[in-house]
Structure 1
Amino acid sequence: MTVEFKVKVLAKETIRPSSPTPDRLKNFKLSIFDQLTPILYTSVLLFYASDASTSSRHPLSRLKSSLSKVLARFYPLAGRIRDNLYIDCDDVGAEFVEAIVNCPLSHVLDSPCPALLRKLLPIDTESPDASAGRLLLVQANTFGCGGLAVGVCVSHKIADASTLSTFIKGWSAAALLGQVDAGIEIPPLDTASAQFPPLVELAATSPMVVLPKVRCTTRRYVLDPAEITPLAVSEAVPEPTRVEAVVALMWRCVARASRKNYPGQRSLLSQAVNLRGRLPELLPETTLGNFVGGFQVEIAPWAEESQIELKKLVTDMREAKREYFANYTPRLSGGGASCMAIVEAAAKFGMLINSGAVDFYNCSSWCGFGLYEAADFGWGRPAWVSLAGVEYKNSIVLVDARDGDAVEVWLTLSEADMDALDADEELLRFATLNPSVPCSSIP
């Protein structure tokens, strides 16, 4: 049973870089990918058990001092976006919020509620401040038992999920080892804008992609890919990935639920992909900024049940991904032609998602970023790495579970579609709805 809890903010503090940003770095250009990114915050919650967090006598002091150190290396996060063209790196700093929660951590982990988890974040993820205010905000929530939840929000205008992961790895290295770059390669921060410079004509335009916000429900499911992957095997795809298998299952189930409410509607899945290792000039995975593309796959409105079986969907997804990398990414070699290709792709994506003519699902995977291994600030691995509820319709996000084998799926649908999904026997067979975070995962 979900337990309501209250969060009380005790203090807010500005954390500035430990050393001033040099004058030659004060004007940090956005890349065209950054310019076209929707206005919202990329966020994550890191939970630490009581015996872990209290092993450090001053956990919040450690977080603050190491945050100051890492901001000196990730200096754009301490600045402000100007005109959707550049960041004024004036060292105005990040916001650090201290809060207390009126219950033990176990009450949250026993029955995590996506909507309530938003209370543990320092700002609404949909806030327009993502393009006009602070680019980085942190909220340290201390529970009655001594447990700790660290909510991190970084403007999506400068950070995708990969960048957020890189930042947390640098931050935890600064806390644990005293060195931001320990164990990770961080290329020059302007790598993105040097290769894909911003377009002045995009400065005053409205965002091309506006994610639909309606009355939604977010639910968390945990699945074992080992149970699903064998059903997705085919001659065309003899070795489906666990992400492909899980995404195909979720899409099949939600499309079936939506058909009950909107018969005859096309179902379109857009799967986000990390472009860093796919560009003509390969970039390190730790390159900062937004390097996300996406390929689309469709279920026709007349498709019979046999035409949307897992192996068929995975085959279609694999083929769409192959065509995307073969036809689109070679055009992204840098320069004006590349910028126009990126703008065209964003415009097409925006038209699809906002047209209302299709049942559009936006899917992304955070699997493989290694946050459990990286987010050690001196009191061990997190007991849980989680997202929170969002208000964007038809969102599917995959996250690694702590054991490294299971996958958590954070699904946001309209209330009507979620009600229809509740009766889906296939989903109930493979997915556990919002299980407790196992006690064995807490050190």
Structure 2
Amino acid sequence: MVSSMEIEIISKETIKPSFPTSQNLRICQLSYLDQMMIRIHVPIIFFYLNNSHCIDQPDNAAKSQHLKGSLSEVLTHFYPLAGRFKDNAIIECNDAGVEFAEARVHGFLSDLLEKPDLDSLLQFVPCDVMPSNDITVPLLHVQANFFKCGSLALAVSTSHKFSDASTASTFFKCWSAIALGCMDESMLPKFVVGTTINPSMDSSTVLPPVHFNMPPNCPTTRFIFEESKITELKTRVTSAIVPKPTRVEAVTALLWKCANAARRTNLGLTTRPSAMAQAVNIRKRVSPPLSENSVGNLFATIVVSMEEGELDLARLVIQIREVLDVYNEDFLPRLLRDQNAFSKILGAGNQYSKILDRDDIDFYIFTSWCKLSFYDTDFGWGKPVWFTIPSVRSKNTMILKDTSDGKGIEALITLSAEDMAELKSNKEVLEFASVNPRVA
């Protein structure tokens, strides 16, 4: 495992949209869903192998220029990203630009991929994930990290107050299509923030406190669930109530159960109450449905409680499905049109915060990036061999994403060091998952 590589910044510059943003688009209002989002930047890193046998393989300088040129073009469509926050309600789309850095990595990508150390990957990221001042910081940062072998780690960090995972997927889809010269109108972003569909709240509104638990010594580890193992796991969690569990439901239930077991073991307890929050993409669940290219934080969070002593995987899947069904059937269809939606969102946020404040319950945060097209991000030198989210050391966080074949699941799990040690040796987890294998 390579824990650290020396990285040398070669250059930094500001990239602006290739065409000025028109005056009627200069103000972008944030929706209340955006306004309630924690002030962090979410980093993503794409790793591209250098194909030295390809005659047309561009050199580092050509790759960098190609990225900057296509980035400038895509910013004309994602113009708020080139602006700056005025306050918690407005982005001034003033074409101030985004930051693009180029760096030299004194190491080889093959070494990094042998047993990736997610805790060290933040060194490839161009900005602090928790900026001290949103007003002056660009909404988007890019850093092209070139290895000795000519391979590339492209790190992109985006403000979560503008972008959720689906928005990021749409952005990369557009950027890579422009780079390949195959952009069409069906890929363009749809802006629904600040409209009557998804209104902004008064900027003076007091927001509920949002926690971002970053205690020291909380490592992040990869767990890989291959397709065949997920099929076995789905069979185990199948019940009469949930006859067709999804792969995300099955993996979520297993990890939640085993993380809770790890905590109980370390505390010397036989039972321990637990709850989990899961982000749910609402684009296709609201009425009327929104385009998958809709940008902004368009997700809701469901909270599910585990009954004390509850260890049955099938029962956990049932509990997750039942809560989700209530959201799908009762709450989400009316969310964007209901005049009382804001108070309901605040209520959910307060419930979330109260659970986090308790010491007598373990709380886990799950989010799924599965079925998003990140592995299709091709700028002209092939698709990434791997993409990942570096550790931001948020305790009890679990991010699920596709493996490169789109059939398995890669879970990025952050726990306390003692809980992680227990989870990595849990026999039930190891029956279905491998711990941090080499990136294929």
Q: What residue is the counterpart of 1:330 in the other structure?
A: 333
Inter-partner Cα distance in structure 1 for 2:156 and 2:255: 27
Q: Could you tell me whether the CA contact under 8 Å between 1:56 and 1:378 is conserved in 2? A: no
Task: List aligned pairs for 1:64-79, cutoff 5 A.
Answer: 64-79=68-83
Rounded to whole Å, the distance in 2 between the matches of 1:249 and 1:421 is: 11
Measured after TM superposition, the shift of residue 296 of structure 1 is 1.8
Structure 1: give runs of 5+ residues left out of the alignment: 439-443
Measure the CA separation in 1 of the matches of 2:158 and 2:122: 15
Alpha-carbon offset, residue 271 of structure 1? 1.2
* 3-state SS in 2 of match to 1:165: helix
The answer to whether the 8 Å contact 2:173/2:373 transfers is no
- The reply on whether 1:401 has 2:403 as its aligned counterpart is yes
Partner of 1:256: 261
Match of 1:431 in 2: 433
Which residue identity is paired with 1:422? K
Deviation at 1:415, TM superposition (A): 1.5
Superposition pairs of residues 32-431 of structure 1, within 5 angstroms: 32-51=32-51, 55-57=57-59, 58-130=62-134, 132-177=136-181, 179=183, 181=184, 183-187=186-190, 189-191=191-193, 193-202=195-204, 205=206, 208-215=209-216, 216-224=218-226, 225-262=230-267, 263=269, 264-301=271-308, 303=309, 307-334=310-337, 336-373=339-376, 375-431=377-433
Shift of 1:207: 5.2
Change (3 A) 1:416 1:212: same
Q: In structure 2, what is the Cα distance between the partners aligned to 1:22 and 1:117? A: 38
Aligned partner letter, 1:349: Y
CA distance in 1, matches of 2:182, 2:71: 11
How big is the shift at 1:346?
Answer: 2.0
- In 1, Cα distance between equivalents of 2:326 and 2:78: 35
1:114-133 deviation digits (Å, cap 9, x = unpaired): 01111111113233455651
Q: Which runs of 5+ in 2 are unaligned?
A: none
Task: Output the CA distance in 2 between the equivalents of 1:211 and 1:193.
Answer: 29
Q: Following the alignment from structure 1 to structure 2, what is the Cα–Cα distance between the partners of residues 55 and 411?
A: 36
| SS at structure 1 position matched to 2:365 | strand
3-state SS, counterpart of residue 318 of structure 2: helix
Q: 1:354 deviation in Å?
A: 3.3
Give me the whole-angstrom Cα distance separating, in 2, the residues matched to 1:100 and 1:218: 25
Is 2:174–2:188's contact at 8 Å kept on the other side of the alignment? no
CA RMSD of aligned residues (A): 1.9
Q: For residues 88 and 115 of structure 1, do their structure 2 counterparts lie closer, same or farther at Cα, with a shift above 3 Å needed? A: same
Q: 3-state DSSP class of the match of 1:379?
A: coil
Q: Aligned in 2, Cα 1:202/1:282: closer, same or farther, shift over 3 Å? A: farther
State whether structure 2 residue 17 is matched by structure 1 residue 6: no
Deviations 1:219-263 (A, max 9, x none): 111012123111111111111111111111111110100112343
Q: 1:163/1:244 Cα in 2 relative to 1: closer, same or farther (>3 Å)?
A: same
TM-score normalised according to structure 1 size: 0.92
- Change in Cα spacing, 1:232 to 1:131, as seen in structure 2 (3 Å) is farther
Confirm or deny: 8 A CA contact 1:160 1:289 kept in the other structure: yes
Deviations 1:73-122 (A, max 9, x none): 10000011122010011110000010111111101111110011111111
Letter of the 2:414 counterpart = T
Query: What per-residue deviation string (whole Å, max 9, x for no partner) do you get for residues 334-374 of structure 1?
Result: 3642222222222222222233342110000000001112x
- Contact 1:392/1:412 (<8 A) preserved: yes
Aligned length: 430
Q: Secondary structure at the match of 1:200?
A: coil
Aligned AA (1:388): P
With 347-356 and 361-370 compared, the bigger mean Cα shift is at 347-356
